[in-house]
Amino acid sequence: GAVVSQHPSWVICKSGTSVKIECRSLDFQATTMFWYRQFPKQSLMLMATSNEGSKATYEQGVEKDKFLINHASLTLSTLTVTSAHPEDSSFYICSARGNSGPSYEQYFGPGTRLTVT
Amino acid sequence: QQPVQSPQAVILREGEDAVINCSSSKALYSVHWYRQKHGEAPVFLMILLKGGEQKGHEKISASFNEKKQQSSLYLTASQLSYSGTYFCGTPPVGFGNEKLTFGTGTRLTIIP
């Protein structure tokens, strides 16, 4: 099956610094990737849709200048949390869907736990 | 708006059956079901693409009632490995390969 990886698995950073999270599709090309945020015991909330070669589409209420998304290739999307604050601490998960065939499934990465101190 | 799932949480003994419901205030074009274990990413279970569709794999099955704007997930003779939080996901328009809005979640705990 399709595999999506994320790096790092977890990160602890100081308030005010920036953190970059990578999402890679390992065995398929993904024209579209999605970034979610999940707080403890809550559902996944879609933050943005990342499209290869174009600007990301952000959901209402998500600050695009704070959460920078770059989808530079068909296998890599990055999320950079700029000037992180403790309230940004969360579990960030990416997902990807293929760009061919009848598959409608989204393949999720293992997630990145961000802790801002 | 986020689909509402019921129940919010349920505890079952191994071997018992469970039903998880997903209801939307908006029209549903397709429904995805995922299971997430603590600290892990969601794992795909199945997609229902058409109203009236029913689908199953081993002891997990699902139905999709387009008119009622709801879907149900059925777990038969539950196993310990079924424990986790179940989410339904629905796309805003079109087919099931668009971005998903996830439901409120149902935490299922299976005890021996």
User: Helix/strand/coil (H, E, C) string of A80-109?
Assistant: EECCCCHHHCEEEEEEEECCCCCCCCCEEC
- Residue B101 contacts A where some CB pair is shorter than 8 Å: yes
- Whether B103 has its CB under 8 Å from any CB of chain A: the answer is yes
For residue B91, give the 3-state DSSP assignment: coil
| Over residues B41-69, mean pLDDT | 84
**pLDDT score at A100:** 56
Higher pLDDT, A116 or B28: A116
Residues of A at the B interface, defined by Cβ within 8 angstroms? 34, 36, 42-46, 49, 93, 97, 103-111, 113
Token representation of residue B35 = 């299971």
Cβ B103–A43 below 8 Å, yes or no?
Answer: yes
Q: What is the largest CA-CA distance in chain B?
A: 42
Low-confidence residues in chain A, pLDDT < 50: 101-102
pLDDT at B110 over 60: yes
* Rounded Cα–Cα distance for residues B33 and A35 (Å): 18
The pLDDT assigned to B58 comes to: 80
Asked if A105 and B47 come within 8 Å (Cβ–Cβ), the reply is yes
The residue among A62, A117, A65 whose CA lies nearest residue A86 is: A117
What's chain B's average pLDDT? 89
Beta-carbon separation of B41 and A46 below 8 A: no
pLDDT of B36 reads: 95
pLDDT value for A79: 97
pLDDT at A19: 97
The whole-angstrom distance between B35's CA and the closest CA on chain A is: 11
Instruction: With a cut of 60, say whether residue B38 has pLDDT above it.
Output: yes
* Per-residue confidence (pLDDT) for residue B94, from 0 to 100: 55
CA dihedral A10, A53, A107, B94 (to 10 degrees): 130
pLDDT at position A102, please?
46
Query: Is residue B44's pLDDT more than 60?
Result: yes
Determine whether the interchain pair B100/A107 forms a contact, defined as Cβ–Cβ distance below 8 Å. no
The pLDDT, as a whole number, for residue B93 is 64
CA distances from B69 to A75, B29, B51, B63 (A): 35, 9, 9, 11
